[in-house]
Structure 1
Amino acid sequence: MIKKTNMRYRTDFLSTDGRLAPQPFRPLRSRWTAIAAGFALVTAFATAHAVQAATLTTSEVRAIAKEATIYGFPLVDNYRVQYTYFVDKGNPEYRSTWNTLNASAQVMTPADKTVQTPNSDTPYAVLGADLRAEPLVLTVPEMDNGRYYSIQFVDMYTFNFAYVGSRATGNEAGRFLLAGPDWKGTPPKGIKSVIRAETNYAFALYRTQLRGPNDIDNVKRIQSEYRVEPLSQYLGKAAPPSLPVDFMKPLTVAEERTSIRFFDVLNFVLQFCPTAPSETALRARLAQIGIGAGKSFDTNTLAPDMKKALADGFADGWAAFNQYKTSMIDTGKAQASGDFGTRAYLKNDYMARMAGAVMGIYGNSKEEAMYPLYLTDGAGTHLNGSNRYVLHFAPGQLPPVHSFWSLTMYALPSSLLYANSLNRYLINSPMLPTLKRDADGGLTLYVQHESPGPKHESNWLPAPAGPFFIAMRLYWPKQAAIDGEWKAPPMQVAQ
């Protein structure tokens, strides 16, 4: 467990053995002076080693702030979730201390409000991994009867940097070593592979297939056999010294979209994110307006012109996202599954990464799962419960998967599950035996606010009275889905 202290953690101090050592946080003071008729600004940042100065116009500051918003939102929102799960013990969504697996043998419901677009067809277990002092050893049991499971590893940037599970490593038992960027040791015997994170903290999201209500005890048994141990404990050795952190309180979901304190939280998070070689130039640009690992960013001390430039750039970042969503996501030109993956896969496409975090943080990489989204009907009009819809799968055209698929309803603007009289938040392939088929063997689903009547209620996915969207999930999709040979059918307004 990491105890709160009066120190923040700085990544530019190392102990003699190469591990990061706690040092008192030295706040960096910043002041902004208007020059050249108020259009140029001189920025001075005091560090422990030197004073750096940069002369920027307000338009340049605004442009960099926009870039920082797009780049930084996934990190800031990820930190909000991690703080909720692993730091804030007074929060009803708190799960466990760092490096302790927390399993929940139940599906998500509308009462779960921390993560947008929650998956309600595989019970979760979550692990907040603090990898600064030493690696963790993760043990998984053998899975029964081809049951699907996966462990998704997400770094602080929200890149999916590795997987363990049915698709990636098989269903046999095994041990895996999860290590941070500074570990230089040798893995012990019995380790199947080393999983390396590029950030000091990581998030592991376990998904275990639930085949139906009568299967819940099997899921509980499997979850009880997942194990997480610090490497020192696994080897029977003394643990290394703890590394305290004074965690900053995160922004709320609303504040992440409205408050320029966003940049202060971003600076806090960046101290745990060593600069990737591909981001050296980007980090240098951000540093020109005071954004960098462990820097202080007190918005209350900024001159009015500077504060406005930052606020305008922050708003520009969100305007750019809204334009991307309208032109790319809503039209289907960009698939939601394309917004998640490794750094190499995303190629530092920060807008795609931001879209993934906004629309549904912690989405799987497309090889693991695909997410065709229903945001509009076949005519391009946004979905709304004031209309009635049908979704028709022709014979032989159900989603092609090695494992299973689901369709989950989300109310807008919350992107959370919709509470309804049936307590039905999704329709998935394990439910196929209970669904009524068309005369030709196809499948028609009814998506609407009111019941379609007893004849069709088995195939009804309840919708809220107002705006909503539906996420289709294909777990371990077949190549026809990945290559685009198979396409999800359109949502049509009922005649």
Structure 2
Amino acid sequence: MTTDLTSLATEAYVFGFPLVFNLDQVQRYVTEGVGANPAAPFNSFSHARAMAGPADTFVTINNDTLYSMAQIDLSVGPVLLRVPDTEGRYYVLQFVDAWTNNFAYVGHRATGTQAGAFLLVPPGWSGDAPDDTSATIEFPTRIASIVGRWACAGDHDLASVAALQDETTLTTLDPHARPIGIPQPADSDSDALVFFDKLRLWSQAFPAPERDQQLQAGLTPLGINDADRSIPDVDEEIASALIAGYEHGRALIEKVLHSGGTSPEVNGWKLTFHAFDYNLDFFRTGALDDPRFKIGDPKMRIIERAAAAAGGLWGNHSYEAAYIMTYVDDQGEQLTGARRYTLHLDPTPPVGAFWSLTMYDVPNFFMVENPIDRYSIGDRTPGIVYEPDGSLTITISHDEPADPTARANWLPSPAGDFRPVLRMYEPAEAVLDRTYEVPSIIRV
């Protein structure tokens, strides 16, 4: 019986990890802020005024754009979002529900760059939108995140982006309403039991999609669906199973992260074009209801969702921004700062917006301090040197290269193990259909 409960607890951990990890970060933004993004109450924006760096300890954060984050709690009723005319500048406001489903997009690709107003409404809402509303966006869960990214060309461009950020506003239609927020779990000395009590509380406050309700019902023997008894109060046998399942689940997600799950591998790169395709139910403004971007296997969908949250929380669908990553060199060995490497891009990635290669440590997937404060390199990096044929050779090493061209094209690495991520914003079809290939990272 204990073994069965442990297996069930492992399944519960993988099932619930995106919800718990995500809402922990939502609460972090509301109470503490993250790096360059200061704390901001529900239903208001937190704007980063500088590019992300090592101080921003958020998993796989990008160094391409300025972030504008908003945690939305529609217990207050509808909220009106207004966006400015960016005059062609790339930006995206990505909408992520409590279970990490990307369910809507506003911005360059999805709605254009003209000024607009969008009414954000809670599940099941009916009513009249203001006359100038461009669209009504119904949320799948009461709480969700807006993850905004603004293209920024560098320090000289910060003021222009800040002006656009300040014109991006949220207004609660009922000025007297106050958000309910996120229910707080019971106290416990066990991280595992606190995790599962969060899952118990939050899965009831923010119900999973209907297709997942049967899976949720199967967790009843663990006390997950109990509305009245907290997890730290369960009997000893269940508590032991939950603690064991917590550890097994963590190990499973870590294994999937490093194996790439169902993502194919080409030249050592994990093509995670479909890592965020677990949303099968909610397609609002700008989100594509397209079979190409849906994970069909129900078990793999749950596992991929957990791995995506752990390795790249709030990542976009690949039609908005395609991500690929690698841990290994051309000889199949872990990338490490003890060695020097090159990446020859011929041609450079075909994109409708821009591309970048960003450096992260392992296993945290954070940026790491380096002597030139360069955390990514791409088509907007000042001073990079292309080959006469238009190709580009990037040098990756911990120690600074002596050659001037290699120095101009240098992406510094940590001293230890690392994992670079290549981002392609508004990728061309050649990226998505894999006719464009990124070569292996070559050990020098």
Q: Please, what TM-score do these two structures have when normalized by structure 1?
A: 0.80
| In structure 2, distance between residues paired with 1:373 and 1:429 | 18
2:195 maps to 262
Deviation at 1:62, TM superposition (A): 1.6
Q: 1:294 Cα shift?
A: 4.7
Q: Which residue of 2 aligns with 1:124?
A: 67
Instruction: Determine if contact 1:331/1:380 at 8 Å carries over to the other structure.
Output: no
Partners of 1:488 and 1:293 in 2: how far apart?
A: 49
Corresponding residue of 1:6: none
CA deviation string 1:111-150 (max 9, x = no partner): 111x211111100111110012301111111112x21000
Larger mean CA deviation between 315-324 and 414-423 belongs to 315-324
**Deviation at 1:269?**
1.6
Q: Look up the SS of the partner of 1:417 in the other structure.
A: coil
8 A Cα contact 1:101 1:227, kept in partner: yes
User: For 1:361, which of 284, 300, 313 is the aligned residue?
Assistant: 313
Contact 2:273/2:432 (<8 A) preserved: no
What displacement does 1:307 show? 2.5
Distance across 2 between alignment mates of 1:440 and 1:90: 42
2:241 is the alignment partner of 1:306: no
In the TM superposition, residue 92 of structure 1 has moved relative to its aligned partner by 9.6
Kindly provide the amino acid, as one letter, of the partner of residue 386 in structure 1.
Answer: A
Q: Which residue does 2:397 correspond to in 1? A: 448
Q: 1:90 to 1:82 in 2, by over 3 A?
A: closer
Partner of 2:287: none
Q: Which amino acid aligns with 1:177?
A: L
Preserved CA contact (<8 Å) 1:132 1:182: no
CA contact (8 A) 1:340 1:353 kept: yes
* TM-fit CA distance, 1:439: 4.2
Alignment-mate amino acid for residue 317 of structure 1: G
Question: Which residue, out of 35, 51, 58, partners 1:107?
Answer: 51
SS at match of 2:7: helix
C-alpha separation in 1, matches of 2:414 and 2:260: 25
SS at match of 2:75: coil
Decide whether the 8 Å contact of 1:263 with 1:297 is kept in 2: no
> What's 1:77 paired with?
21
Whole-angstrom distance in 1 between the partners of 2:206 and 2:310:
21
| Residues 1:409 and 1:489: Cα distance change in structure 2 (over 3 Å) | same
User: In structure 2, how many angstroms separate the alpha carbons of the residues matched to 1:389 and 1:378?
Assistant: 10
1:335 paired to 2:287: no
Written as runs of structure 1 = structure 2, the 5 A alignment for 1:12-91 is: 57-88=1-32
Instruction: Determine whether 1:392 maps to 2:344.
Output: yes
Residues of 2 paired with 1:96 and 1:224: CA distance?
14
Please say if residues 84 and 93 of structure 1, whose CA atoms lie closer than 8 Å, have aligned partners that are also in contact.
no
TM-score, normalised with respect to structure 2: 0.89
Contact between 2:118 and 2:137, CA under 8 Å: does it hold in 1?
A: yes
Using the TM superposition, give the Cα deviation of residue 391 of structure 1 relative to its aligned residue in structure 2, in angstroms: 0.3
Aligned to 1:20: none
Q: CA deviation at 1:312?
A: 2.4
Separation (CA, whole Å) in 2 of partners of 1:162 and 1:90: 23
Letter aligned with residue 434 of structure 1:
G
- Matched positions, count: 422
Aligned partners of 1:108 and 1:118 also within 8 Å? yes
Whether contact under 8 Å (1:405, 1:428) holds in the other structure is yes
Deviations 1:201-236 (A, max 9, x none): 010011111022211111011111111111235xxx
Deviations 1:454-478 (A, max 9, x none): 4221110000110011011111111
Higher Rg? 1
Match of 1:193 in 2: 135
Residue pairs, 1:125-274, within 5 angstroms? 125-144=68-87, 146-232=88-174, 239=176, 241-242=177-178, 244-245=180-181, 247-248=183-184, 259-274=192-207
CA distance in 1, matches of 2:378, 2:310: 24
Name the CA distance, whole Å, in 2 between partners of 1:138 and 1:268. Answer: 29
Distance 2:376 2:35 in 1: 27
Structure 1 contact 142–171 (Cα < 8 Å) conserved? yes
Query: 1:457-476, aligned counterparts within 5 Å?
Result: 457-476=407-426
* Percent sequence identity over aligned pairs: 32
Higher alpha-carbon deviation: 412-421 or 284-293: 284-293
Distance 1:70 1:221, change over 3 A: same
Aligned letter for 2:243? A
DSSP 3-state at the match of 1:411: coil
Q: CA RMSD in A?
A: 2.5
Structure 1 residues 468 and 133: CA distance shift in structure 2, 3 A: same
Provide the secondary structure at the position in 2 that maps to 1:164: strand
Q: 1:491 is matched with which residue? A: 441
Give the partner amino acid of 1:337: F
Does the 8 Å CA contact 2:341/2:441 hold for their aligned counterparts?
yes
> How many Å separate the matches in 1 of 2:75 and 2:124?
7
Paired residue secondary structure (2:219):
helix
Tell me the CA shift for residue 179 of structure 1.
1.3
Post-superposition offset of 1:79: 1.3
Whether contact under 8 Å (2:120, 2:136) holds in the other structure is: yes
For 1:332, the aligned partner's letter is E
SS of the residue corresponding to residue 314 of structure 2 reads: coil
Cα 1:382–1:300 shift into 2, 3 Å: farther
